Amino acid sequence: MVSFIGDRQKKMSNSNAVIVSETIKTVLSAAVSNPSLFTTAVQKPPVIPGGFFPVSKKQMLRNLEINVGTRNLNSWVDSMRASSPTHVKSTPLTAEETKLMLEHPSALDLFEEIIHASRGKQIVMFLDYDGTLSPIVDDPERAFMSNKMRKTVKKLASYFPTAIVTGRCRDKVYEFVKLAELYYAGSHGMDIQGPTKDKEDDEEAILYQPARDFIPVINEVYRLLVQKTKLTPGAFVEHNKFCLSVHYRRVAEKQWSEVAELVNSVVQQYEGLKCTQGRMVFEIRPDIEWDKGRALEFLLESLGFSNCSDVLPVYIGDDRTDEDAFKILQKREQGFGILVSNRPRETHASYLLKEPKEVMFFLQKLVQWKQLTTGRRSRV
């Protein structure tokens, strides 16, 4: 059974993570290194360290459009569109999507297969928050999870060690989840705290914060982004302590490329930061070798499972940043990732669930199975 999962994972393709700043750097580097990309009508600008040149935004966009073509710029906007819940296709699956669906079947349909793989092993649960436990909503400040979902996660945590792994600020996600018995890895895993249930002081439970030195620069970039996005109706900058999110869910689609370009122009000014694109959001974070995948490994180690073969980590998430965790599981050949997406897509996860409601059913099934096999009912 495990080899079946392994075989399926081997067929999976590379991550489709989009690194916006890298995309722009690539586009600009290509333009700089290949003079033929510039038409004679546009003067070749001087190169400055880092491969960038001081041209106005308008000029730069025009250069990209005229000389490099609109493909790269459009590809971010296409990517932004694809991540938008308002652009969910209701058309039948394409041949490619059908193939992906066969490679990554529903975790509900193949629940027995998952249970079989967990035989004799300790299941450890890792759950993303937005789009996984709560629906994606227009106002990120109101991304509440339902009471039913909270009850389910509470029961789940009474049987299996459970962690919330999110790009959000840890305190913010705790306000939403409100369960002191969980592990929390906020700021894309850069702010890890153990259960606070029996702790007098929350600080006591802090386990790891690898990006502490970046706090001043993150604060500065936050102020700059707030100031720069003031003129873009609907844009919202969220401070997540060790990283920042620029939400464009409520920005008119015709201004999305403007948001992408604005975010990139700020990030470029700071060494040691990187920008990635998530679902209707740009994520700006320290460019350190730390992500949700590393947080998963750290938590497994903290729980005493670093070199164990009798552990089955299960990671459920909907975002591109969750692919880092799916990749780690694939590399470890241990456990499996479950992608939450209403359309099949390229992923390093093994299974799919369509939406948070299906995540809840899956978690409820796990709880029921555990109750049946142990004969112990949760007291929560």
Binding site for Mg ion (CB under 5 A): 128, 130-131, 318-319
Kindly give the pairing relationship between strand 183-186 and strand 191-193.
Answer: antiparallel
Distance, in Å, from the CA atom of 5 to the CA atom of 7, rounded to the nearest integer, reads 5
C-beta closer to Mg ion: residue 159 or 174: 174
Minimum distance from residue 129 beta carbon to Mg ion (Å): 6
Minimum distance from residue 128 beta carbon to Mg ion (Å): 4
C-beta closer to Mg ion: residue 61 or 137: 137
Tell me the backbone φ, ψ of residue 361, rounded to 5 degrees.
Answer: -60, -40
C-beta closer to Mg ion: residue 63 or 277: 277
Distance, in Å, from the CA atom of 67 to the CA atom of 4, rounded to the nearest integer, reads 48
Minimum distance from residue 264 beta carbon to Mg ion (Å): 22
Return the number of other C-beta atoms located less than 10 Å from residue 224's C-beta. 17
Minimum distance from residue 131 beta carbon to Mg ion (Å): 4
Distance, in Å, from the CA atom of 211 to the CA atom of 256, rounded to the nearest integer, reads 29
Sign of CA dihedral 202, 203, 207, 212: positive
Tell me the backbone φ, ψ of residue 48, rounded to 5 degrees.
Answer: -115, 160
Task: Tell me the catalytic residues.
Answer: 128
Please list the alpha-helical segments (H only) found in 194-255. Answer: 215-229
Residues comprising the chain, all counted? 380
Minimum distance from residue 136 beta carbon to Mg ion (Å): 8
Minimum distance from residue 49 beta carbon to Mg ion (Å): 36
C-beta closer to Mg ion: residue 294 or 370: 294
Transcribe 88-156 into DSSP letters. Answer: ---SPPPHHHHHHHHHS-BTTTTHHHHHHHTTTSEEEEEE--BTTTB---S-GGG-PPPHHHHHHHHHH
C-beta closer to Mg ion: residue 130 or 191: 130
Nearest to 165 by CA among 190, 197, 140: 190
C-beta closer to Mg ion: residue 37 or 340: 340
Nearest to 126 by CA among 370, 368, 365, 335: 335
Tell me the backbone φ, ψ of residue 129, rounded to 5 degrees.
Answer: -100, -70
C-beta closer to Mg ion: residue 119 or 142: 142
Side-chain half-sphere exposure of 350, counting CA atoms within 13 A: 30
Minimum distance from residue 279 beta carbon to Mg ion (Å): 6
Q: In which residue are the tokens 């460019």 written?
A: 287
